Amino acid sequence: MALTSKQKNLIRKRAEHKSAQVIAAELRLSEDEVEAFIKSEKAPGEPVDPTRKRLFFVLMIAIPFLFFALLEAGLRLGNYRGNDALFIFPTVFDGKYGMPNPNFTSRYFFSTTTLPSPSDDVFLTEKPENGFRVFVLGGSTANGYPYGYNGSFSRVFRDIIQDAAPDRHVEVVNVATSAINSYSIYDQIDEILDQKPDAILIYGGHNEYYGALGVGSSETFGAFPGFVRSYLKLQRFKTFQLLRDIIVRTGARIASITSSGPPTEAGGTLMQRMVGQQQIPLDSDLYELGKRQFESNLNAIFKKFDKAGIPVFTGSLTSNLKDHPPFISVETDVHPAADVVFSRAGTYFEDERYEEAFDAYLYAKDLDALRFRAPESFNALIRTKSNAFDNVFYVPVHEAFMDNSDARLIGFNLMTEHLHPNVAGYHLMGITFASSFLDADIAGISGDAGLPETKDYYYDRMRMTEYDRRIGEHRIKLLMNSWPFVERRDPSGYPGNYEFTSAADSMAFKVVHDNVRWDQAKVRLASYYEETGRLDEALREYDGLMRGQPYNDSPFVFAARIWLGLNNFDRARPFLEQAYAIESSAFTTKMLGAIEIDAGNIDRGIDLLEESKSIEPDDAQMLFNLSGAYALKGEFERADEVLVRLEEINPQFPGARAWRQQLDGHLRNRGLR
């Protein structure tokens, strides 16, 4: 009788562990039938191939890994979410310079679409032997908000260190951005180490609660620092970013369907969009989690740089104590309401009880439940952690601000609002960081006699024009016309009702509200000043561009043109030399050549004019000057060749006919005619 399918399956399952006799007894079959079926399934004596079994197992395990590897490769090939590396090396610089990547912050924000950007500082791709390279890390204050560019403390620091080490090529690269905290700083370290830094400056801590991934942020990912730091490593993979985006978008979609409340204000400021938990009272559980997060990350950051042997200068955190009230007041069983203490501080101040006023203002700031200003416990952590590492140096920024404020009470004398410094404040920050750096005597760069120049000199060297200051004012106006400074933006107020006070004000407004580039607007404004005869103001704008873009020859050329127009060749010459050092052009070589000829440096003048000729061979002015230069050297035949070419191109060129008569006379006198 033939075996059924069920019987065959049972025999197959039991054949590896039981004999035919036992299987036959269990299934009530004849032993011969069972043996015959087993033999038909597998030839007698044929062993199971262990290699094939292992290969099958490996393939089963490898298939999902292969899938994700191919997916990762496809996402990278398709440039999913763009290039989020910390540094880029733009082709416009021909590989000579690197700079911070404007898109690198995309790896920290998974629901915020408008991303903050770092500075446009550049550094040489190949670090020179005499190079000294410093990176600046932190949040919006380190970035220089609301001014940016020449208003940042890092530019003041660069000026001082370059003056203290004139034989070194000093580069200070600011990678700080708004709305990031110690998680982001930690995440940047490996890429910074790849660029061979000589020192690190850190000013960060105000964003610890509401910055990306902070415990009170709308972009949080948990309150366990070690876990979040691991997450930051994983999100370098495009596949992980894709999965994260799917989860976030799905969650947002579900929330939009199920939510019965009003939609989130899409046009809110970055400050507003980053706040997830508005009330974090002093000594609350969330407050303590933020402290633990900051301490853990500080330790991890300092340990990494210390292991690499890179000195770190970290500043204490400062903010507006006297002139900005608390945002949110919450009375608890342990602490009074912030506004009550702030009012008491004001009374102490009016009564000239300054020490009591200072303590009360400091306490009121710490009591503010909306944690935009770092509590004093953070400065204690910075000081403690700095002392724990030989390569970490504490920079007394907060102390310097207090020392430069009446009764040590920091207010609008150094601040624009609750925590961002004004121009004087950023100047003081730069001085303080530079002084601490020089005192540390890093790489033989020291300041035994103090700063190389006066503080006033470095303040003027910031080159902050009315235009630059107005940019800061407009950004602050925009910020303070929104939450948390006001509950709801006034649609009839700023910026709609704003009236411009000057051309500089108008240009600054366009930069803030119309996304006009800072450098483009600065050139337009300088051109306007030139057209209206305000040459000193034009030169100051160009000076600011030179400071901000030392790799760009254009502002040097623009400034040189002004001095050339005034026939002041001595003032034009250094600008032309700098432009020429950056990039050779027909104009710079032509004008430098003419100036050199006029100064009696005939050989260099001819070399420059010939270089100009190789770039733009039919420039009549250049040919006229070159012909005259050869004649001054006594090479009249060469002078004649060049003049013939000029006459072919432009026979009416002013002075050409008179020069022909004069040159022919020289040629006849020497029997060359």
Confidence at residue 296, expressed as pLDDT on a 0 to 100 scale: 95
pLDDT band (50, 70, 90) for residue 369: very high
With tokens 């108008």, the residue in question is 506
pLDDT band (50, 70, 90) for residue 531: very high
pLDDT band (50, 70, 90) for residue 265: very low
Residues in CB range of 637: below 8 A, 6 or more apart? 667, 672
615: Cα within 13 Å, side-chain hemisphere: 14
What are the backbone angles phi and psi of residue 97, rounded to the nearest 5°?
-125, 150
Confidence at residue 666, expressed as pLDDT on a 0 to 100 scale: 86
Confidence at residue 610, expressed as pLDDT on a 0 to 100 scale: 97
Residue 664, helix vs strand vs coil: helix
Residue 225, helix vs strand vs coil: helix
Which of 111-120, 177-186, 429-438 has the lowest average pLDDT? 111-120
Higher-scoring residue by pLDDT: 17, 355: 355
pLDDT at 414 over 70: yes
Strand 87-88, strand 97-100: pairing: antiparallel
Closest alpha carbon to 385 in 205, 214, 136, 232: 205
* pLDDT tens-digit map of 554-600: 999 999 999 999 999 999 999 999 999 999 999 999 999 999 999 99
pLDDT band (50, 70, 90) for residue 41: confident
203-218: average pLDDT = 88
pLDDT band (50, 70, 90) for residue 264: very low
176-194: average pLDDT = 95
* pLDDT tens-digit map of 68-91: 677 767 767 887 777 889 999 999
CA separation (Å) from 79 to 73, 191, 234, 238, 504? 10, 20, 17, 9, 40
Higher-scoring residue by pLDDT: 295, 109: 295
Residues in CB range of 35: below 8 A, 6 or more apart? 20
Confidence at residue 353, expressed as pLDDT on a 0 to 100 scale: 97
13: Cα within 13 Å, side-chain hemisphere: 8
pLDDT band (50, 70, 90) for residue 348: very high
pLDDT at 251 over 60: no
CA dist 527 and 453 (Å) reads: 32
Q: How many CB atoms lie within 10 A of CB 62?
A: 11
Q: What is the mean pLDDT of the chain?
A: 89
325 upstream amide cis, omega within 30 of 0:
no
Confidence at residue 325, expressed as pLDDT on a 0 to 100 scale: 96
* pLDDT tens-digit map of 492-510: 889 988 999 999 999 999 9
Alpha helices in 321-396 (DSSP H): 338-350, 354-367, 376-387
Contact of 663 with 632, CB cutoff 8 Å: no
pLDDT band (50, 70, 90) for residue 293: very high
Residue 600 class from Cβ within 10 Å (0-12 exposed, 13-18 middle, 19+ buried)? Answer: exposed
pLDDT at 419 over 90: yes
What would the two tokens of residue 135 be?
């990176």
